[in-house]
Amino acid sequence: MKPAEIRDMTPEELTRALEDTRRELFNLRVQAQTGQLENSARIRLLRKDIARIMTEMTARKQNAAL
């Protein structure tokens, strides 16, 4: 997910995207433990997406507080 896409999302969409990404990361971790994971790099990408989403949510919260 690109940073520009994240900036264009509404707060509800950000929350939904965060939940979906965390769920997908959980599923990939389960696959990794059971030996079924084909693309291990996907875990890293999802972790970065989660960080981007959370960073945008925090920035919006701080801007709203000002």
Q: Cα–chain-centroid distance for residue 57?
A: 11
42 CB-near residues (< 8 Å, 6+ apart) = 28
52 band by pLDDT with thresholds 50, 70 and 90: very high
Q: What is the pTM of this model?
A: 0.93
Contact 51, 1 (CB under 8 A): no
Identify the CA nearest to 41 among candidates 53, 28, 51, 54. Answer: 28
Average pLDDT over every residue of 38-49:
97
Spell out the CATH class of 3-65. mainly alpha
